[in-house]
Every structure is written in C-alpha cells, then in structure tokens.
C-alpha cells in the first residue's frame, strides 16, 4: 500500500529497515498518489506504523484536504467528472473510460486497469 505514495525514499527501507516517513516526505507526495487514499474502504491506520507521529497527522490532513476536490485520471492526469470514471479494483486508480479504451462502464463487478493487467 505504501508503494502507492511514490515516496522520495525507498519503500523497502520503510518496511524492512523500519525507516519512518517524515514530514518532508509527506510534503513531497503528489495529489495523484494521495487520492488513492481517499477511498473510504482504505483503513489509514494500517499504514500509520510507517510514519513519524507528526508526519502521519500531516498525511491524514493532506488526504482529507482532497475530499472536496475532483479526482485526477491516472492516465491523462486531468480531472475527472463523476459519471465518466472507473476505478481499478487492484491499484485503486481512477480513469476516464475513454482513457482505458472503454465506451461504457463494464458490467463486471471487478475492474482491472491496463497497468494491473
């Protein structure tokens, strides 16, 4: 899950060497990475252990500050409207339908984006 953040430090160092994510790292995370954590199904407490205490608070604030903004498409990086988007069930990225070559939302429950296929 932390690999989504595209952190300016190595994710392996965080998990294996117990290096903590600092405020500086949090400040460097882009909105596209952050928006994956806006999904209500994601339990942020699962990744709390990887952060310094103050850095985690800043991270949560940053995620919450995105709540009123529109999603960015992971493919074209432009904002998405509510009707024409699709979320990948594997990486949780959002896409415009046309950016993943679809004309309508697939009937299947589970959607896997081109990146995850």
Q: Which chain residues interact with Zn ion by CB under 5 A?
A: 73, 75-76, 88, 90-91, 96, 99, 113, 115-116
- Angle value at C-alpha 74, between 45 and 64, nearest 5 degrees: 35
Q: Least distance (Å) from Zn ion to the CB of residue 113?
A: 3
Q: Least distance (Å) from Zn ion to the CB of residue 37?
A: 15
C-alpha separations of 32 from 6, 49, 65, 97, 107 in Å: 10, 22, 13, 17, 26
Q: Least distance (Å) from Zn ion to the CB of residue 25?
A: 24
- Which of 73, 86 has the CB closer to Zn ion? 73
């Amino acid at each position: 899950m932390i690999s989504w953040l595209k952190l300016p430090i190595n994710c392996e160092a965080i998990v294996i060497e117990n290096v903590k994510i600092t405020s500086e790292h949090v400040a460097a995370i882009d909105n596209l990475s952050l928006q994956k954590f806006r999904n209500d199904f994601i339990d942020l407490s699962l990744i709390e252990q990887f952060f310094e205490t103050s850095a985690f608070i800043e991270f949560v604030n940053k995620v919450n500050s995105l709540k009123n903004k529109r999603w960015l498409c992971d493919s074209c990086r432009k904002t998405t409207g509510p009707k024409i988007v699709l979320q990948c069930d594997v990486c949780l990225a959002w896409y415009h339908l046309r950016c993943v070559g679809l004309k309508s939302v697939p009937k299947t429950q589970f959607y896997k984006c081109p990146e995850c296929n």
